[in-house]
Amino acid sequence: MKKIGIVGATGYTGVELLRLLAMHPGVEVSFVTSRSNAGTRVDAMFPNLRGHCDCEFSDPGDDALGDCDLVFFATPNGIAMNHTPELLKSGVKVIDLAADFRIKDVDVWSQWYGMTHACPELLETAVYGLPEMYRDEIRGAQLVANPGCYPTAVTLGLLPLVESGKIDLENLIADTKSGISGAGRQGKLPNILSEAGESFKAYATSGHRHQPEIAQNLALVAGSDVDLTFSPHLLPIIRGIHATIYTRDDGSLDLQTMFEERYKDEYFVDVLPAGSQPETRSVKGSNMCRIAMHRPGNGSRIVVLSVIDNLVKGAAGQAVQNMNLMLGFEENEALRHPAMLP
Amino acid sequence: MKKIGIVGATGYTGVELLRLLAMHPGVEVSFVTSRSNAGTRVDAMFPNLRGHCDCEFSDPGDDALGDCDLVFFATPNGIAMNHTPELLKSGVKVIDLAADFRIKDVDVWSQWYGMTHACPELLETAVYGLPEMYRDEIRGAQLVANPGCYPTAVTLGLLPLVESGKIDLENLIADTKSGISGAGRQGKLPNILSEAGESFKAYATSGHRHQPEIAQNLALVAGSDVDLTFSPHLLPIIRGIHATIYTRDDGSLDLQTMFEERYKDEYFVDVLPAGSQPETRSVKGSNMCRIAMHRPGNGSRIVVLSVIDNLVKGAAGQAVQNMNLMLGFEENEALRHPAMLP
Amino acid sequence: MKKIGIVGATGYTGVELLRLLAMHPGVEVSFVTSRSNAGTRVDAMFPNLRGHCDCEFSDPGDDALGDCDLVFFATPNGIAMNHTPELLKSGVKVIDLAADFRIKDVDVWSQWYGMTHACPELLETAVYGLPEMYRDEIRGAQLVANPGCYPTAVTLGLLPLVESGKIDLENLIADTKSGISGAGRQGKLPNILSEAGESFKAYATSGHRHQPEIAQNLALVAGSDVDLTFSPHLLPIIRGIHATIYTRDDGSLDLQTMFEERYKDEYFVDVLPAGSQPETRSVKGSNMCRIAMHRPGNGSRIVVLSVIDNLVKGAAGQAVQNMNLMLGFEENEALRHPAMLP
Amino acid sequence: MKKIGIVGATGYTGVELLRLLAMHPGVEVSFVTSRSNAGTRVDAMFPNLRGHCDCEFSDPGDDALGDCDLVFFATPNGIAMNHTPELLKSGVKVIDLAADFRIKDVDVWSQWYGMTHACPELLETAVYGLPEMYRDEIRGAQLVANPGCYPTAVTLGLLPLVESGKIDLENLIADTKSGISGAGRQGKLPNILSEAGESFKAYATSGHRHQPEIAQNLALVAGSDVDLTFSPHLLPIIRGIHATIYTRDDGSLDLQTMFEERYKDEYFVDVLPAGSQPETRSVKGSNMCRIAMHRPGNGSRIVVLSVIDNLVKGAAGQAVQNMNLMLGFEENEALRHPAMLP
C-alpha cells in the first residue's frame, strides 16, 4: 500500500483526487493538508466523500509528508516550488497540479506568473506529465509537472498534425471553451450562478498563461517556434473543456488514419469515427480525451475538435495516471470507469 | 418629470430598478449612490444599461437626495432606517426594498434581523407595500416597506383563502423555491455556479426571516395567529420564485371562482384556468404573479401554486408599482411589458 | 461470471445500468435489446460507453434471453409483464425497473397505469425491491419490482417515522422535485432545454402514479391506510431527486437518534448530522440516499429532507443492488464509488 | 394603426414577435396563423402573453392576410416563397424571417436548402434586411429577407474590417456559439435538457447554411470572394449568440477607432471600450449587438467578439426594426428597452 499525501485539497482538483483515489486499491491517502481548514473533517466540506474519507485536514507544516511515497500539490501556483526540493531530498515523489514546473524557460514563467521561481534548477529535471508524449520519462521521474487543462486538450488535438511536419505552423488557432470549475472553488463575483449562468463570454483574449505552455509543447515537437492564437471562453457548465482547433495543410493529409494510428495504443485518447462531433458530456467524470477531425469543403482548412473533463484528464485524473506510471501501477488503475451520461 | 434617487444600486434589485425606470416616461433617475463604487459609471458595472443610464455612482453622503421626489433604498437590511427619518422630514418619499419597515413588532424584528431598530416610531406609519392588500394606504404613504420576495408569492397565494375564513389556520405549509438571484450579487462560495448549479437543496428549514413577515400578513387578515411552516429551497436558476402552498378546508370551497373574483381587478395577479401549473418562466422579467389552485383527489387538501419573478414582483417591479401609486402615475406604468419566454 | 440481459436499453436507466455493470467484476452483459435499434452499436448511441461495451443492440425477439442468469427490463410500463412469466419458467431471474409489479392491488394498478395486467398472479410473489425494507425477501426472489424513483426517496425518508407509530398518518405531505432525466430519453417538447431550462413548475399536482406506490409502502408498515399528499415538481437539472416531507408528532420524538439507529447498518442510507440540508449533487452518480430531519421552532411539525440520484438509487443503482442480493454478490459491488462533486 | 399579420407564430421567433409588437404603439396584430393550432388561444400556448394577446391562431388559408399592411413569415424555410408573390400583388409588404430570400444565387440556395425556389424572380428585388448595410433600400422595400442569426452577428463583426480593404480575405474564421432556442421549438431528442444541458459541442463543422449567406454579405462589400471557415457550436443556454472572429491585417489598423466610427450612428450596434469582452447576457431580450476587438500580443492577428440575442437582433427584433423602416416608424420603436440582466 503506497502512502499518498495531498497538499491543499480544498479545491476542486483536491476533491477530485480524493474521489479517484478512493477507487484505487493500491494507495492510501495518509495526509490531506489545508492550513485554513486544519481540524475540519474532509467529508464535512465534501459530502460526496462521506464513507470514503475518514480523515481531517491537517496543517501543512506537518513533517509527516516526508513519510509519503508521493505527494500531490493541488495548491495555487507558486506553492509547490517552495516545498518540492526538500521532499525530493527525502525521497518523496512529487506531482504538482499547478504551473510551477510546466514552463522550461524561467523568464517566460516569471513573466506570465508574476513571481520569481524558487527552484529554477528543477525546471530541467521536472517531467511534463502528458503520458501520450513523455510516458517513459514519467515512469522514471521524481517530479512531474501535471499539464494545464487547456494545454492537455489542445496539445492532444494538434500532436499528430505537428508531428507530421505538414501543417502551417504560422497559422494555428485554438478557440477553447471551459466549464467554470476551471475557475476554482472560490467565492468570486464573476463565478456566481447569477453572473455566469445563462451566458457565455470570451476572456483573456489578448493573452492567457496557457498559450506559452501549449506553444512550448508544440515547438518541442516541431523543432521550431509556432504561431498560436489561443482564445479561451467561459461555458455555463461545471465540467468540460472543448477545443476547436484551426490549422491548414496542402489538402493532402489523411486525417482519420493519421490520428487513429498515432493514438491506437493510448487508452485515454479516443479518436472518434470520421464526421463525429464530440460532446463534453461524453467524458464527464472520466479520464478520456475524445477527438474528431474535419476538413470543411474538402479544402486545406483543418478543424480538430477535442474534449476532456477539465477536472479529470485536465487535472486530477491525469495526475493519477502519472502517479500510476511513477509508482508502477497499471496506468489506468482507478481510471477505468466510464463517463457519466447523462 | 419626477426626480428619483436610488441608494445602493450595485445589487440585482438596483440594476432591475434602473432597467424598469428606463422605460418610465414620467421619472428621471437623479442619483444612484454606492459608497464603494463612487465615480464608476453605472453602465460599466451593468452593460445592459449602456445607452440607458448616462451616470456614475455617487457617494451616498451627498445631500442631494433631499432634492428627490422619491428615494428607493436597494440596500442591505439596516441601512434605510438610518436615513429615512431625515428624508421624510425633507418631504422626500421613501420606499425601502429591504426589511427595515416590514415587521410591525419591533421585538420580533430585532430577534430575526439581529439589530436594534433605529426608528421604531416609524414602524406604525410605514405602509406594507403589497398593493393588492393596501392600495389606498400606499397612495397616501410617505414611507413604504416593500415586501419580501417569498412573502409576496405566498401572501398572494393564500389571501383569498384566509379571507374566506374557511381554512385550517393551524395547518399552513409553504414549500418555496427561489432562483439564486435572491441571494444577491455577492461573491460567496455557495452561490458560484460550480456549487449551486446542477443541484437543489433546502435551506433555513428550521427558521427563515420571511416566516414572521408572512405570518403577520395572514394574521392581520385572519384576525388571529396562524401556524405556518415556511420551508425555502434554492433553485439552480437565476430568476423566479415558485411557492407550493398546502392547507385544508372542509372540501366545500369553490377555489377557482373565489380566486378569480378576488383578483378580477388586479392587473398583476393572473389566476390561471383550472388545472393549470404555472411555470416561473411565464413571469420572467415581468411584474405578474400567476396562481393556480388544486384539490388532489377532490378531498379537503388544497394546494396553491404561485409564481413571481423575485426581482420584479418580488422586489424592483413591486417597488415601481408602489412608486406609481405614491406619485400619481398609472399603477402599471413601465410594468406593462410581457414576460420574456423562452 | 453471471450472464445478464438488458431489455430496452436505449433509455437513461439502460445506459446507467450499462455504466454500473461495466464496473462489476462478476457479471457480463450478454444481451442488450432494442427493437427499433437492432444492429446499432450501443456505444454509437452512448459515447460514454466507448471502450466499455463492445456490442450491438439485438432484437428482443431473440430466444437468447433464456440463457441469462438475470434479465433487467428497462422498458416502458407494460412490457415486462408480457415476457416475465416465460423467463421465470426458464429459471431466469427478472428485475423490472418499470412499474408492472410494484402495486399489489391489480385494480389500483390498472386504474393508474391504464392497462389490463398480463399476469396478475405474479403480483403476490414479486418482491418490492427496496432492500432497506425487504432485503431477505429480495435475496430469495425470482422476480423483483424495482421501486419508483420518488417512492424510494420518500419511503426512506418516512420509514423510521411510520415504524415509530407516533406520527400523524392523516397529515403526510411529500413535496418532491426531480431532475428532468426522470422524464426519459425522449424528444418531447416540454423537455427541451428552451422549455424546461431556467424555469421550475409543479406537475401532476392533482394525482401522480407514485402516490399509491408510496401509500402502499407506508400502509404495509403502519398496518393502516395513510393520507398522503404527493406533489411532484420538475427541476431544471439532469439528475437528482429532493423530497421535502412534512408530518407531525406530539413533539417528543428524538429524530436524530431514531434515524441513525434505523439506518446504522445500511450502506446506502446516510443520515446527516443534525441541522444538515442535503444537496442533490452530493449523491450524483452514486447509489446513496442522504437524509436530514428538522423540527422548525422545536414544535410538533417535522420536516424530513431526502435526496437520491433518480437514475441510481432511484433506478439502475438500486436494480444492481437488488441483482447483487439475488445473485449472491456483495450488496454494494459496483456501487461503492463516491458521488461526483462538483 | 397599421395592421400586421404573422404566419406560423408557434415557434420562438413567433412568440418573440408577439412580445415585441405588444410594446409597439403603432401596430395591431390582426392575424396570427398556424395550420395545426387553428382555434387555440395564442396565450394558452404562450402564457407570458396572457393579457397581451387576446386572439386565437387562425388558419393560414384565410384570405384575410391581404388586408394587412405587412405580414411576417415566421415559418420554416420554403413556406414564404409560396405566398409572397400574391401578397406583394395585393400591396402587402412582406418580411420573411426564414431563408427563402436571403441568397441571391438561386443555385446556391437550392444546393443548401434542398428545394427548388418557387419565385426566383423575386430574389433580385428582395432586400437583405440588415439595416446597418441596407437601411435606405429597406425603407423602400416591399419584400425584406430578414438575416439569419449567425450572419447578423458575424457580418456586423467583420463589416468595418472588410470595408477597410486591409484584411486577409483568404483567412477568415468565425467560431460561433448559439443558445439552443436557435434550434427551434420542437421536441427533438438532441434538444432536450438531459441531452443538451451541462454539455457543449460543435455541429455542422463540415458545412452550414449560414456560411454562404455570410460569404455573400462580405463578398458584396469586398468586391471579391472571401474564404470563410464557419464553425458553429451549441451552447447550453436558451438565448444568445457569441461569434469569435479571426482574421489578419498587417498590424496597422486602429481597430477601436475604425469600429467606433463605422457604427457611431447605429442605435443597435454598441462598440465596447477597448479591452472588453461582451457577455451574451448583456443583450438578452434586447435588439443590441455588442462588439469588441482584440489584437493578441499586438501582432497581425485580429480577434473580434460579437454578441446578439439570437431571437431579437438575430430574428424577431431585427424584423421589427425592418418593419419600422418599411412602415415609417421610428427605427427603434418597441426596441428601446434595455436587456435583462441578470
Domain CATH number, residue C218: 3.30.360.10
Beta carbon pairs, C and D, within 8 Å: 70
Residue A237 touches partner C, C-beta closer than 8 Å: no
Instruction: Count structural domains, chain C.
Output: 2
Q: Cell for C330? A: 456483495
pLDDT tier at D64 (50, 70, 90 boundaries)? confident
B44 and B105, same domain (yes or no): yes
B193 and B79, same domain (yes or no): no
C62: distance to nearest CA of chain B, Å?
40
Q: How far is CA B12 from the centre of its chain?
A: 13
D173 and D279, same domain (yes or no): yes
Predicted local confidence at residue A110, as pLDDT: 98
Domain residue limits at C259: 150-310
Which CA distances in Å does D282 have to D7, D38, D55, D290, D340?
A: 30, 37, 33, 8, 7
B208/B227 Cα distance (integer angstroms): 14
Residue C203 touches partner B, C-beta closer than 8 Å: yes
What are the respective helix, strand and coil percentages of chain B, to the nearest 5? 35, 20, 45
B138/B191 Cα distance (integer angstroms): 35
Predicted local confidence at residue B56, as pLDDT: 95
B48/B25 Cα distance (integer angstroms): 19
B310/B13 Cα distance (integer angstroms): 9
Domain CATH number, residue C104: 3.40.50.720
Predicted local confidence at residue C173, as pLDDT: 98
* Residue A36 CB neighbour total at 10 angstroms: 9
Classify residue D322: in a domain, yes or no: no
Residue C273 touches partner B, C-beta closer than 8 Å: no
Q: How far is CA B325 from the centre of its chain?
A: 16
Q: Is the pLDDT of residue A62 over 80?
A: no
A217 and A266, same domain (yes or no): yes
Across C214-283, where does the E strand assignment appear? Answer: 228-234, 241-248, 269-271
Classify residue A169: in a domain, yes or no: yes
pLDDT tier at C298 (50, 70, 90 boundaries)? very high
- Euclidean distance between the first and the last CA atom of chain A, given in angstroms as a whole number: 35
Classify residue C143: in a domain, yes or no: no
* Mean pLDDT confidence for A84-98: 97
Predicted local confidence at residue C60, as pLDDT: 76
CB C313 within 8 A of CB C320: no
A214 and A304, same domain (yes or no): yes
Predicted local confidence at residue B71, as pLDDT: 98
Q: Is the pLDDT of residue A61 over 80?
A: no
Contact across the interface for C48 and A337, Cβ inside 8 Å:
no
CB A289 within 8 A of CB A152: yes
B323 forms beta bridges with none
Predicted local confidence at residue B62, as pLDDT: 60
pLDDT tier at C62 (50, 70, 90 boundaries)? low
D66: distance to nearest CA of chain A, Å?
41
pLDDT tier at A64 (50, 70, 90 boundaries)? confident
Predicted local confidence at residue A223, as pLDDT: 97
A92 and A166, same domain (yes or no): no
In percent, the amount of chain C with pLDDT more than 70 equals 100
C304 and C201, same domain (yes or no): yes
Q: Which of C125, C140, C159 is the last residue of a domain?
A: C125
Residue D327: name the closest of D19, D136, D69 by CA. Answer: D69
Per-residue pLDDT tens digits for D222-231:
999 999 999 9
Q: Cell for D67? A: 388586408
pLDDT tier at D141 (50, 70, 90 boundaries)? very high
Which CA distances in Å does C210 have to C103, C123, C141?
A: 10, 17, 23
Per-residue pLDDT tens digits for C108-140:
999 999 999 999 999 999 999 999 999 999 999
Residue A242 touches partner D, C-beta closer than 8 Å: yes
Q: Cell for D224? A: 471579391
Q: Average pLDDT, whole number, for chain C?
A: 97
Contact across the interface for D191 and C192, Cβ inside 8 Å:
yes
Q: Which of A57, A90, A125 is the last residue of a domain?
A: A125
C14 and C116, same domain (yes or no): yes
A121 and A260, same domain (yes or no): no
Classify residue D131: in a domain, yes or no: no
Q: Cell for C199? A: 424555469
Predicted local confidence at residue A60, as pLDDT: 76
Interacting residues of A274 by C-beta distance below 8 A, sequence separation 6+: A256, A292, A293
* Mean pLDDT confidence for B53-79: 91
Measured between beta carbons, the chain B residues lying within 8 angstroms of A236 are 193, 197
Per-residue pLDDT tens digits for B106-129:
999 999 999 999 999 999 999 999
Q: Average pLDDT, whole number, for chain D?
A: 97
Contact across the interface for A186 and B181, Cβ inside 8 Å:
no
Classify residue A67: in a domain, yes or no: yes
Q: Average pLDDT, whole number, for chain B?
A: 97
Contact across the interface for B48 and D282, Cβ inside 8 Å:
yes
Predicted local confidence at residue B64, as pLDDT: 79
Mark which residues 94-133 of B lie under 8 Å from D by CB: none
CB C238 within 8 A of CB C184: no
Q: Is the pLDDT of residue A63 over 80?
A: no
Contact across the interface for A187 and B185, Cβ inside 8 Å:
no
Per-residue pLDDT tens digits for C206-253:
999 999 999 999 999 999 999 999 999 999 999 999 999 999 999 999
Classify residue D253: in a domain, yes or no: yes
Residue C242 touches partner B, C-beta closer than 8 Å: yes
D54 and D176, same domain (yes or no): no
Q: Which of C110, C125, C140 is the last residue of a domain?
A: C125
Please tell me which of the candidates D198, D238, D297 has its beta carbon nearest to residue A207. D297
Classify residue B155: in a domain, yes or no: yes
Predicted local confidence at residue A74, as pLDDT: 97
The Cβ-side half-sphere exposure at A207, using a 13 Å CA radius, reads 10
The backbone torsions φ and ψ at residue D224, rounded to the nearest 5 degrees and listed phi first, read -160, 165
pLDDT tier at D62 (50, 70, 90 boundaries)? low
Q: Is the pLDDT of residue C286 over 90?
A: yes
Q: Cell for A237? A: 457548465
pLDDT tier at A197 (50, 70, 90 boundaries)? very high
Q: Is the pLDDT of residue D63 over 80?
A: no
D29 and D114, same domain (yes or no): yes
B282: distance to nearest CA of chain D, Å?
5
Classify residue C330: in a domain, yes or no: no
Number of helices (H), then strands (E), belonging to chain A: the values are 10, 13
Predicted local confidence at residue B215, as pLDDT: 98
| Angle of the B12-21 helix axis to the B317-327 helix axis, nearest 10 | 50
pTM: 0.97
CB C192 within 8 A of CB D187: yes
Strands across the sheet containing D2-7:
D27-33, D2-7, D70-73, D93-96, D143-145, D127-128
B92 and B231, same domain (yes or no): no
Contact across the interface for B203 and C238, Cβ inside 8 Å:
no
A292/A308 Cα distance (integer angstroms): 12
Per-residue pLDDT tens digits for C19-61:
999 999 999 999 999 988 999 999 999 999 999 999 999 987 7
